[in-house]
Amino acid sequence: MSSKSNNGINRRAFIEITSKTAVGMGLVSLPLVTSSCIDTNTTKTTHGACYHDCPDRCSWKVTTANNKVINFEAGQDSYTAGKLCNKMERFPDDVTYHPDRILTPLKRKGLKGAGEFEKISWEEAIAEVASKLQDIIDKKGGEAILPYSFGGNQGKVQSQFPNRFFAHIGASQLERTICGDTAVEGVLAANGQTTGILPEDCVHSRFIILWGTNPVTSNQHLWPYIQKAKSNGATIVVVDPFKSATAEKADWHIQPSPGTDSALALGLMHVIFKENLQDQDYIDRYTVGVEELKKHVQAYDPKSVAQITGLEAETIISLAKSYAQSSPALIRVLIGMEHQVNGASAFRAVAMLPALTGAWRQFGGGLMHMTYELFGASLNWESITLPAALTNQQTRSINMIELGKALTSKDLSPGIDALFVFNSNPVVTTPNQNLTLKGLGRDNLLTIVSEHFITDTARYADYVFPATSVLENWDILDSWGSTYININEPAIEPLGESKTNSELFRLLAREMGFTESYLYESDIDIVKKTLQSDHEYLKGITFESLRKTGGQRLNLPEKWMPHVTGNFKTKTKKCHFYDEDIEPNLPTYIPREYNKADREKYPLHLLTLKTPKYLLNSSHGNVDHILKKEGQPYVEIHPKDAASRNIADGDELKI
Ligand SMILES: Nc1nc2c(c(=O)[nH]1)N[C@H]1C(S)=C(S)[C@@H](COP(=O)(O)OP(=O)(O)OC[C@H]3O[C@@H](n4cnc5c(=O)[nH]c(N)nc54)[C@H](O)[C@@H]3O)O[C@H]1N2
Ligand SMILES: Nc1nc2c(c(=O)[nH]1)N[C@H]1C(S)=C(S)[C@@H](COP(=O)(O)OP(=O)(O)OC[C@H]3O[C@@H](n4cnc5c(=O)[nH]c(N)nc54)[C@H](O)[C@@H]3O)O[C@H]1N2
Ligand code: SF4
Ligand SMILES: [Mo]
């Protein structure tokens, strides 16, 4: 439920879970400079980039001696600007050399979930897992096997290569919907592409709305550019139900109730039309459906929108006027609003605003969202995605957010007999944790996890494979929030018996007797092939240049102004205010219906934000000094909601 006040309870439930894992581990950090006997003959420097699911994609430089990291520092490219974020400054100690890192394959010996394992050899582990998978394929078919992966390592090779194996065995496909899909769908419906204003160009903006995004915490390398804009005279507005770290620094914080942004955006349009602040020439040339939109927003007058959003009608009018009358005016969105009902409609409506006011005409004006399409257009994508022989898979898809349901369903045919997790910690990051745990507790489920640590998910594994850290693998990294391309060269040999994700699946393929060459391609070959493209954005960017420099900015036009003259990527090349092929035809606020019993039982609305400064989703949740800095898990609740429930500051709560 959302009331008129800012009643969001926040703090991500997963911190509680991850901190439980770490309790009592007595973690000790290894010193980074480890040896007094550095052999300068073997000292080398390699470039790499952050593998995390983060819009910044920082680059770094690693110096090693005798196969040990002796220095780890931020890259000097203009976006990383010589500074990694607080999460990554101590990465070699926190992950690569962490004493709890898994360095051999493990086999479960206790009950599921007990986290009791014994070491086994790679040969045994591969033989046993391959034979069990083959048995499932023979009896039930490949669809009884479900791969589960997400943002753990965003390197193109380490995230995509395993898909070849799963497609080859005809496994169920995973719909990877947990982050960004809803936001992207909304923006695509209006503009046909998500690449609008580039991050660095916001310094030219004079009015910036950070709409449901918290860059001070979640997009730290964008923030200096926003500050620069501010010192150039820009007004910074934050639209967020919660007083985030960014909202605290803004000139104006607007707090709509969660899930009501579509109504707010349509309300702004209502005012813009009423005050005749639209750019009629831009609309006439480069948009479709303005008459339908005008009619549609009649219902979104400031008074009605005030009732929906909990804002004052005056605030809505004032925001609409300030936005439409400022130039250049920028709206920055990322993913915040997508966790709510009406999420896609909200992104769709917000994405239309710059076309309504003609903000796209000015350098620094428009919408800033993702950047991944720039890499999609320029890299040799065929080397990364599935080989031709494996495309058009006909196997069923399972939506990752329904993992618990899939694992416990009696109706799925075939049911899931094996779950293969890599690059993800679904017990913490996937909705409906209780159901996921119930599924993972099944005696007849084979669970295989490739990981650095015994996460809350790995505790349930029958087999755990030790994964290399990013300092030990080759990869190529594009970005969804910046304009830099990086290659990641291994700085050290794999520690212990750890192996890359790709090598794990090459070994399984060999054991299962597969002969197709795409299952055996080497990481470095894929990296090199990915750069084989004569696209203008990659001019001057080669495997060798990236090895020397680390990250390089795509070779983009000096003034990136994608929609000055329309050029949207929709079927009409115009911004679609109205689309007869999309249901609903216009972005619409649809009130969420609750039955009375649910409303009484669950009267509050939980926001799970990325407020933890030192965690990247659940990653780093086992690191002692990080847990100390994060403190105990907590929720924040509006004082009024707390008072009416007799809750005082510091009380223990079950949510
Ligand atoms: N420190 C840190 N940084 C991270 C991450 C992390 O875990 N920790 N995760 C990374 C990842 S995977 C991602 S996808 C990005 C996400 O980056 P962001 O999208 O910036 O992050 P969120 O915290 O998910 O959401 C941003 C804001 O949206 C607000 N919000 C929630 N619901 C609504 C709503 O209905 N309307 C409006 N207007 N606002 C709403 C929240 O209160 C929050 O302050 O961050 C990345 N960066
Ligand atoms: N409550 C709540 N849930 C959320 C969100 C939220 O805001 N609140 N945010 C959502 C969002 S935006 C996202 S992106 C997802 C993220 O969900 P996940 O992708 O599950 O993210 P992490 O929790 O960081 O788990 C990644 C795991 O991958 C492992 N890993 C890292 N590198 C490698 C590697 O090279 N090989 C292997 N095998 N493993 C590796 C790490 O050790 C880590 O345990 O969570 C979503 N879930
Ligand atoms: S997590 Fe993000 S901000 Fe931090 S080092 Fe990695 S890419 Fe940079
Ligand atoms: Mo995400």
User: CATH number, domain at 62?
Assistant: 2.20.25.90
In a domain, 492, yes or no: yes
- Counting residues of the chain whose pLDDT is more than 90, the rounded percentage is 88
Number of domain units in the chain: 4
Kindly state whether residues 84 and 30 are assigned to the same domain. yes
463 and 601 part of one domain: no
Q: Which of 201-210, 321-330, 638-647 has the lowest mean pLDDT?
A: 638-647
* pLDDT at site 41: 67
For ligand 3, whether the C-beta of 50 sits within 6 Å is yes
CA distance 588 to 308: 13
Longest pairwise C-alpha distance within the chain: 76
If asked whether residues 217 and 265 sit together in one domain, one would say yes
> Quick check: 350 and 334 in contact, CB under 8 A?
no
Domain boundary among 96, 131, 154: 96
**DSSP code per residue over 381-404:** GGGTS--GGG-S--S-EEEGGGHH
In a domain, 314, yes or no: yes
pTM of the predicted model as reported, rounded to 2 decimal places: 0.94
**Residues 419, 278 within the same domain:** no
- Residue 554 in any domain: the answer is no
Confidence of residue 132 (pLDDT cuts 50, 70, 90): very high
CA dihedral of residues 315, 316, 318, 323 (deg, nearest 10): 130
Which helix (H) or strand (E) segment holds residue 174: the answer is strand 173-175
502 and 157 in contact (C-beta within 8 Å)?
yes
Beta carbon of 615 within 6 Å of any ligand 3 atom: no
Query: Residue 603: pLDDT band by 50, 70, 90 thresholds?
Result: confident
| Of the listed ranges 69-83, 397-411, 464-478, 621-635, the one predicted with least confidence | 621-635
The residue nearest atom 2 of ligand 1, judged by CA position, is 218
pLDDT in tens, 259-278: 999 999 999 999 999 999 99
Is 422 close to ligand 2, i.e. is its CB under 6 Å away? yes
pLDDT of residue 26: 25
Residue after which a domain boundary falls, among 542, 559, 582: 542
Candidates 218, 479, 607: which one to mutate for ligand 1, based on the most atoms within 8 Å of Cβ? 218
**Could you list the residue range(s) of the whole structural domain that residue 262 is in?**
196-369
412 and 483 co-located in one domain? yes
Q: Give the pairing type, strands 287-288 and 252-254.
A: unpaired
Q: Does any domain span residue 274?
A: yes
Indicate whether residue 74 lines ligand 3 (CB < 6 A): no
Q: Indicate which CATH number applies to the domain containing 339.
A: 3.40.228.10
Residues 89 and 110 in one domain: no
Would 477 be classed as within a structural domain? yes
Atom of ligand 3 nearest to the CA of 219: 3
Q: Which helix (H) or strand (E) holds 145?
A: strand 145-149
The CATH number that applies at residue 442 is 3.40.50.740
From 168-172, 338-342, 498-502, the region with the lowest mean pLDDT: 338-342
Residues 163 and 202 in one domain: no
Helices 261-274/290-297 angle, 10° precision: 110
| pLDDT per residue as tens digits for the range 4-36 | 222 222 222 222 223 323 222 222 233 343 334
Q: Are residues 411 and 532 in the same domain?
A: yes
In a domain, 616, yes or no: yes
- Whether 288 has a pLDDT exceeding 90, the answer reads yes
| Ligand 1 contact, 259 CB (< 6 A) | yes
* Per-residue pLDDT at 36: 40
Say how many Å lie between the CA of residue 626 and the centre of ligand 2: 17
Count the neighbouring beta carbons within 10 Å of the beta carbon of residue 291.
Answer: 10
pLDDT at 614 over 50: yes
| Exposed / middle / buried, residue 371 (Cβ in 10 Å: 0-12, 13-18, 19+) | buried
Residue 460 in any domain: the answer is yes
Domain boundary residue, one of 67, 96, 125: 96
H/E segment holding residue 11: none
